[in-house]
Structures are given as structure tokens and as C-alpha cells.
Amino acid sequence: MITSTSNQQMKNLTLLMKKAKARNEQGVFVAEGRKMFLEAPVEWVKQVYVSESFYGTCTQGNMQDCMESCTPKHGEEKLNRKVLERLNETGYEIVSDNVFKSVSDTQTPQGILCVIKKPEYALEELIKGEQTHLLILESIQDPGNLGTMVRTGEGAGITGVIMNQTTVDLFNPKTIRSTMGSIYRVPFFITKDLAGTISSLKEQQVNVYAAHLKGTLSYDEPDYKKKTAFLIGNEGNGLSDEIADLADTYIKIPMQGQVESLNAAISASLLMYETGRQRRH
């Protein structure tokens, strides 16, 4: 059992939690919680750490105790059985409660976190013929917004997310937590040249729309049944002129009252779900 924060594994875990550079160099990220552990593809899991109390309670053979220690709710017993089965499959290290809490990124740790291999995708993997449905992000700064867009995108049926290098790190622990597991299933591409990538998509007949304050066409008016991509800009400044100018069409989300614009993740959600609605009908 690991009982010291000076343990090399714990020091590295803390580094991975805090530094994008370390995550990039090692090609891994950290995911916390039972749901994130259970949904991770087994072949992506590099290491698993469980707190002493979580492990002790959940391996006593008394599932009622396990339920009580892990906040009772419907399906809790089944969930913990799945965790135990997966732990036996992946292997794990036990960590004392105080050390586990010190490396955790959450206020109330669930008692399990894992180091996951970063997936990689080529741009071509995000293109799915006429079903292509992309979210293109420029300099999004809030980890929660980015994670929410990935999660909502999966629900809306997008084929991938493209982002520039000044967008907040996709593998930031807060972003990972906000994806609620969608990070494992939504393809992404981080580009060094966002303008060049958009131009390449347009050459492949992808229709590019910019959510923009100058838009005169309501977001629910265009036909999104063909290859579609939406540009979403920085929370404070919106899209840069360079990127906005690459759009085929400016669209707007009509506002009432004195509201000028919506949160970036909310705007993206409306556009993605409108596309999904049109394609279902």
C-alpha cells in the first residue's frame, strides 16, 4: 500500500493532474471516479489507484456495507460489483486515504482514479461522408465548457471535434470530468493551423457555419443534412476575424430581453441538436 505523498507514483500522478506538458510527454491523462473507470476501454488503462477505505469496504464481501460507504442510490450494488470485476482485470494499487485525497482533483473523492493512454485520431477519421457533423473550436478557455461540448456532441451525434492549440487542454482533469465518459468515444483533432484545417474541410464540400453576432440567418433556417461544421469562438471575444471569414454562412441565435449572446457550450448545443433534429426527420 502507498502511504506517502513522496512516493514516486504519487508525485507523478500529481504532476499529471497539474501539468499539460507532463500529460503530453507521457501520452496519458488522469480520470477519476467509478463511471470514468468503468467506461474506459481496458486497453487504454495504464494504472489504477484505489483508496484504502474504498478498497477495504468493497472487498469485505458485504455489499450492503459497500453501498452505505459509497452513497446509496439505485443500482449502487451492481455498480460496485462491476468496479471490483474491472479491478481484477486491470490490476490496481491501494493508496492510504490521506494520500489519495492529496492527489485527487475533487473535493469528495470517490476512491478510484486511473491513468489512461491518450487516444489519437487523424483528421480523416472525423469525416464520415454526408454524415459529417463537426464542432470547430477556436480558443475556448473554460474546461467545463469544453467538456460539456464533447459530452453534448456525443448526444447530438457529431462525428468529431476540431480545436486549435490555444483551446484549453482537452485532458485537463476538469475537462475530463465534464465529458462524463464521452472523451472515450468522441474523435477529436487538435490542429496547429486552424485556418488551414477549415480550408481543407471546405475543399471536401463541408459546409461551414459561424455562430456570429453579425449573422442575419436564424440558426434553424439552413439545411444541415449534408456535411456540416460549426465554428464556435472564445467565450469573451468570440471568433477571430480570420476564422469567422472562412465560414460559408453566418448564423445567429435569436435573443429576447436584453441578452446579447449565450454561453459557448449552450450555443454549440443548440446548433448540434438542430442538426441532429433535421437529420432524424
Q: What is the DSSP letter of 240?
A: -
Asked whether residue 88 is domain-assigned, the answer is yes
Domain containing residue 18: 8-117
Same domain, 129 and 225: yes
Q: What local confidence, expressed as pLDDT, does residue 211 receive? A: 87
List pLDDT tens digits, range 220-271: 999 999 999 999 999 999 999 999 999 999 999 999 999 888 899 999 999 9
Same domain, 129 and 112: no
Helical (H) or strand (E) element with 39: helix 34-39
Same domain, 132 and 271: yes
The three-state secondary structure class of 244 is helix
Q: Is 80's pLDDT higher than 60?
A: yes
Query: Of 99, 117, 135, which closes a domain?
Result: 117
Q: What local confidence, expressed as pLDDT, does residue 62 receive? A: 45
Looking at the chain, the whole-number percentage of residues with pLDDT higher than 70 is 93
Q: Is 35's pLDDT higher than 80?
A: yes
Mean pLDDT score across all residues of the chain:
93
Burial category of 63 from C-beta neighbours within 10 Å (exposed 0-12, middle 13-18, buried 19 and up): middle
Contact 267, 232 (CB under 8 A): yes
The arithmetic mean of pLDDT across residues 157-171, rounded, is 98
Query: Of 90, 117, 144, which closes a domain?
Result: 117
Same domain, 127 and 58: no
Same domain, 62 and 23: yes
Same domain, 231 and 161: yes
Query: Do β-strands 207-211 and 228-232 pair in parallel, antiparallel, or remain unpaired?
Result: parallel
String of DSSP letters for 138-189? SS---HHHHHHHHHHHHHHT-SEEEEETTSPPTTSHHHHHHHTTGGGTS-EE
The arithmetic mean of pLDDT across residues 65-87, rounded, is 66
Q: What local confidence, expressed as pLDDT, does residue 60 receive? A: 63
Same domain, 205 and 188: yes
Q: Which residues contact 29 (CB under 8 A, 6 or more apart)?
A: 16, 23, 115, 116, 118, 171, 173, 176
C-alpha cell at 115: 491513468
Same domain, 80 and 102: yes
Same domain, 146 and 269: yes
Q: What is the CATH number of the domain that holds 274?
A: 3.40.1280.10
Number of other CB atoms surrounding residue 273 within 10 Å: 15
Contact 182, 151 (CB under 8 A): yes
Q: Is 65's pLDDT higher than 80?
A: no
Asked whether residue 189 is domain-assigned, the answer is yes
Contact 251, 211 (CB under 8 A): yes
Asked whether residue 3 is domain-assigned, the answer is no
Query: Of 92, 117, 142, which closes a domain?
Result: 117
Same domain, 236 and 98: no
Q: What local confidence, expressed as pLDDT, does residue 281 receive? A: 87
Q: How confident is the model at residue 160 (pLDDT cuts 50, 70, 90)?
A: very high
The arithmetic mean of pLDDT across residues 118-134, rounded, is 97
Asked whether residue 2 is domain-assigned, the answer is no
Q: What local confidence, expressed as pLDDT, does residue 227 receive? A: 98
Asked whether residue 153 is domain-assigned, the answer is yes
Contact 33, 114 (CB under 8 A): no
List pLDDT tens digits, range 204-227: 999 999 988 889 999 999 999 999
pTM of the predicted protein model: 0.92
Q: How confident is the model at residue 77 (pLDDT cuts 50, 70, 90)?
A: low
How far apart are alpha carbons 124 and 76 in whole angstroms? 40
List pLDDT tens digits, range 2-28: 999 999 999 999 999 999 999 999 999
Same domain, 187 and 113: no
Same domain, 106 and 146: no
Q: What local confidence, expressed as pLDDT, does residue 75 receive? A: 60
Asked whether residue 1 is domain-assigned, the answer is no
